[in-house]
């Protein structure tokens, strides 16, 4: 039986080394927040579009990682391709470059 306080790795059992692929370099919540601000939108507007409370939007802003279904919905709502940002981040990681404008 697994210790409930033990952190599970998404790579466990996959044969992939548990390296810090995401790290602190790309924070999806901060990118969503920045995009909202750049578009001149409000937390209330996004919460109405997503059908959730403003508190939930603030929680999204705090997330470093996000479910792809929710990210898709946010991408469509904001007309912004957050998946392309992830792809760019991956390309940069593979080429040994770090950092992406969040």
pLDDT digits (tens, 9 = 90+) for 34-78: 999 999 999 999 999 999 999 999 999 999 989 999 999 999 999
Q: What is the CATH number of the domain that holds 80?
A: 1.10.260.40
Task: Name the H helices within 24-67.
Answer: 28-38, 43-50, 54-62
Domain range enclosing 39: 28-94
80: which residues sit within 8 A by CB, 6+ positions away?
35
User: Does residue 96 register a pLDDT over 90?
Assistant: no
- What is the C-alpha R_g of the chain? 16
What share of the chain in percent tops pLDDT 90? 56
User: Does residue 18 register a pLDDT over 70?
Assistant: no
What are the φ/ψ torsions at residue 36 (nearest 5 degrees)? -60, -45
67 domain-assigned = yes
pLDDT for position 59 = 97
Q: How many domains does the chain have?
A: 1
87 domain-assigned = yes
């Amino acid at each position: 039986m697994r210790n409930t306080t033990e952190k599970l790795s998404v790579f466990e059992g996959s044969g992939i080394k548990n390296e810090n692929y995401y790290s602190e370099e790309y924070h999806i919540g901060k990118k969503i927040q920045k995009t909202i601000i750049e578009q001149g939108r409000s937390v209330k507007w996004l919460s109405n579009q997503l059908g959730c409370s403003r508190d939930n939007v603030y929680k999204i802003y705090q997330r470093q990682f996000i479910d792809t279904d929710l990210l898709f919905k946010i991408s469509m709502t904001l007309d912004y391709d957050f998946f392309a940002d992830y792809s760019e981040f991956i390309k940069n990681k593979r080429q040994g470059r770090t950092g992406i404008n969040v």
